[in-house]
């Protein structure tokens, strides 16, 4: 069974962290409607969806991906680079504890889950404004005994590594080469985003399809032409908060957690 942990939309999302985007008003009701449709898409993609309530004091709490990295039977609880986001982590650890072994990133390290891209047994980790070298080093020592290796990848011009590159099939990556050097991902096929859609590199590969933002039809067409199945979801309100489709869920499989 595949699981997805999600967290509700904070009524304070208009006070979210912003790094590369200009602040625009977020329609919270519309964000909640989009979130419900996203949850339906996860369910229809075969996930059992678990919902943590939103916290009014935590504007970015819907972006749950940043709080943990599921690696096999283990959840690595992060220490987000934005101090305002660190209080998001404890409740996520409590929600995962029954399913996954919990280990922690500790100071002075910072690590955002949005900076971690798993391809096979390799975790590519963005050296971004949110993840520091101590975060990369701690992650490496936590996952090495579990059979995973870590490769640090420079990222510029965007928030997270997964703003610039995501997996859309086994060893197939969707890449924005302006923000990350595609040659860092040796052994992977690369599909470039359509040049008219610079922010289109974030897709959520799940089961036999990719959940993909409705805002990027040209890149969606590139994925379809490559033979991949795309399910479009409208995440326009989350994009205003510098989020996209991977950030709103934390996904793990029972099969990888079995035997812990």
Which residues contribute to the site for ligand GLY (CB under 6 A)?
Answer: 16-17, 19, 60, 63, 82, 85, 159, 241-243
Alpha helices in 150-216 (DSSP H): 161-164
Exposed / middle / buried, residue 165 (Cβ in 10 Å: 0-12, 13-18, 19+) = buried
C-alpha 6/C-alpha 49 separation (Å) is: 7
* Residue sitting closest to ligand GLY (CB): 17
C-alpha 246/C-alpha 73 separation (Å) is: 20
Using DSSP bridges, classify how beta strands 122-127 and 116-119 pair: parallel, antiparallel or unpaired: antiparallel
The kind and range of the H/E element at 190 are strand 189-192
110 versus 176: smaller Cβ distance to ligand GLY: 110
* Catalytic site includes residue 21: no
| Active-site position among 16, 47, 158, 247 | 247
228 versus 250: smaller Cβ distance to ligand GLY: 250
Residue count of the chain, please give it.
260
Give the dihedral sign, CA 211/217/219/222.
Answer: positive
Exposed / middle / buried, residue 253 (Cβ in 10 Å: 0-12, 13-18, 19+) = middle
Smallest gap from residue 17 Cβ to ligand GLY (A): 3
14 versus 122: smaller Cβ distance to ligand GLY: 14
Residue in the structure block whose two tokens are 């790094």:
19
72 versus 80: smaller Cβ distance to ligand GLY: 80
Helix (H, G, I), strand (E, B) or coil at 182: helix
For 65, residues 6+ apart whose C-beta sits below 8 A from its C-beta are 113, 114, 162, 246, 247, 248, 249, 250
112 versus 173: smaller Cβ distance to ligand GLY: 112
| Active-site position among 158, 160, 188, 248 | 160
Smallest gap from residue 236 Cβ to ligand GLY (A): 14
* Catalytic site includes residue 118: no
From residue 196, how far is each of 180, 192, 218 by CA, in Å? 17, 11, 8
As annotated, the active-site residues are 160, 247
């Amino acid at each position: 069974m595949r699981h997805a942990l999600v967290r509700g939309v904070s009524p304070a999302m208009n006070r979210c962290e912003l790094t590369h985007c200009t602040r625009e008003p977020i329609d919270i009701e519309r964000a909640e409607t989009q979130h419900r449709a996203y949850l339906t898409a996860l369910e229809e993609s075969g996930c059992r969806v678990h919902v943590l309530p939103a916290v009014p004091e935590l504007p970015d709490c819907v972006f749950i991906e940043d709080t943990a990295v599921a690696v096999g039977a283990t959840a690595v609880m992060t220490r987000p680079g934005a101090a305002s986001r660190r209080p998001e982590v404890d409740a996520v650890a409590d929600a995962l504890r029954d399913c996954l072994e919990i280990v922690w990133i500790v100071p002075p390290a910072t690590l955002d889950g949005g900076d971690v891209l798993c391809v096979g047994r390799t975790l590519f980790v963005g050296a971004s404004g949110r993840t520091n070298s101590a975060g990369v080093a701690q992650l490496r020592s936590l996952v090495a005994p579990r059979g995973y290796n870590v490769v640090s990848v420079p990222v510029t011009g965007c928030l997270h590594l997964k703003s610039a590159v995501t997996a859309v099939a086994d060893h197939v990556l969707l890449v924005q080469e302006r923000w990350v050097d595609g040659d860092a991902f040796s052994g992977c096929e690369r599909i470039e985003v359509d040049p008219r859609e610079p922010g289109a590199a974030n897709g959520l590969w799940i089961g036999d399809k990719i959940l993909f933002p409705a805002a990027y039809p040209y890149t969606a067409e590139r994925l379809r032409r490559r033979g991949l199945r795309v399910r479009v979801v409208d995440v326009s309100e989350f994009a205003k908060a510098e989020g996209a489709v991977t950030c709103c869920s934390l996904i793990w499989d029972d099969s990888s957690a079995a035997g812990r």
